[in-house]
Amino acid sequence: MKLHNVDLMNSSFYGGPLRGAFRELRRRHILENVQTLVLDGLSVTSELLTEIILDKSFNVRLLSVREVQNLNERKLMQALEYSVRPTRPDNAPRLQGLYIFGKRDAPESPNSELHTISGISAPSVQAAPPLGGVTASQGAQLGAQFNQRSKDALSAALQGDGDELFGRLGVLYPRPPMHEWARTMEVCRGLISFDGILCSGPRHNWMSASTSEDLDQRPWYLKPVAHLPPAVAMIALQGCSSCHSAPEGITHYGVTPFQDLPLLAPPPFHSSTIKAATRANKTIDDKKARLLRRCQDCLRGRYCESCNKWWCEDCYELVVGNEGMKPPQAVISGFSDAGHNDGPGPNNFKVYMGLCIEDCIVGEMMSGTGSNGM
């Protein structure tokens, strides 16, 4: 069964093809056994997802709706928050993990064409020609296509296409998540996991500092004026370029509880659990096992968009005022002393216009000054 998008003005018809597929699967008593459901790239409405999340006829544990069309995300957030309400029934919510922020997985090889319906994958079987011997039989064609699929999966694993979250640097998602997702993720914490995590930078957690500590004695980023609302972390980093660490600490794969880790793509089909969805499919070394992610506001003025260097709040202090954050004496004249002072201060100017002063902005200036950089 092949699914097609429907281009109609009335949004109630956008989920029509999927609803038809679900009716057929329900009639065959298959739908109640589907625990991993992948709808990436399809036309999916929030009403349909609300039904999947709340209706008892569905038993979906892992749901993937990456790069879908016609989805009202705010209504999806409402359904998720309702599913984890304090008065929810026992054994609810059934949904344990949601893939929504990342890119959908690359399509299969043309030689192993697969149609995924409701999380159940099966190769498209072509009719065997009337002649051709044993290899032309339907069973032989099925086996050949499954062998080709295994070959494609092995090739992707050897090339490192999977589990790209660990060791990857820079912007993680094709588009910034809506700000409202941070509240939904907070409400669902411990019950529903996502393919993203909340930013744990210290400016989001200033109230966690000791109440007995004098407010004036706190670091600048733990004062109320520097507070930031919750946000989805969408930039992957290494340790601070100066101290090689971070005030909030660095998450280590294999040490941090899997409930606090983001879901890894692709979704697992053989075990629809959060533990399986956060487990790397291949061995990763100690360097790549470090997971540090921040939101854009936490990195504003301290992050190089070209080489992914960044400086933490302890190593690079920023002035917080009514006009936002800015480096001390952040003017072009600060270039002359940039890079000659390792401690925070007015002459320790690190980033300008999204580029680090020490390397990237100097390279940009030299590349445009004339022949051979002269």
pLDDT digits (tens, 9 = 90+) for 17-68: 777 777 877 788 888 889 999 999 998 999 999 999 999 889 999 999 999 9
Query: pLDDT, tens digit, for every residue of 141-179?
Result: 445 554 555 555 444 444 444 445 666 789 999 889 999
How many Cβ atoms are within 10 Å of 126's Cβ, its own excluded? 11
Region at 116 (left for phi over 0; alpha for psi -120 to 50; beta for the rest): beta
Report d(CA 209, CA 149) in Å as an integer: 52
Report d(CA 344, CA 356) in Å as an integer: 15
Report d(CA 48, CA 66) in Å as an integer: 15
Peptide bond into 219 cis (omega under 30): no
Region at 354 (left for phi over 0; alpha for psi -120 to 50; beta for the rest): left
Encode the chain (374 residues) as per-residue pLDDT tens digits.
333 333 333 345 566 677 777 787 778 888 888 999 999 999 899 999 999 999 988 999 999 999 999 899 999 999 999 999 999 998 889 999 999 999 998 765 544 333 444 444 433 333 344 444 444 444 544 455 545 555 554 444 444 444 456 667 899 998 899 999 999 999 999 999 999 999 999 999 866 655 555 667 788 888 888 889 999 999 999 889 999 899 988 887 777 777 788 998 889 888 889 988 988 765 666 666 778 999 999 998 899 999 999 999 988 876 655 444 555 444 333 333 434 444 444 446 788 888 888 888 876 666 655 545 44
Contact in structure between 231 and 199 (CB atoms under 8 Å)? yes
Residue 146, φ and ψ in degrees, nearest 5: -65, -40
Q: How far are the Cα atoms of 3, 27, 62, 89 from residue 56, in angstroms, in the given order?
A: 24, 15, 15, 11
Q: How far are the Cα atoms of 87, 251, 339 from residue 291, in angstroms, in the given order?
A: 35, 5, 27
Residue indicated by tokens 């949601």: 98
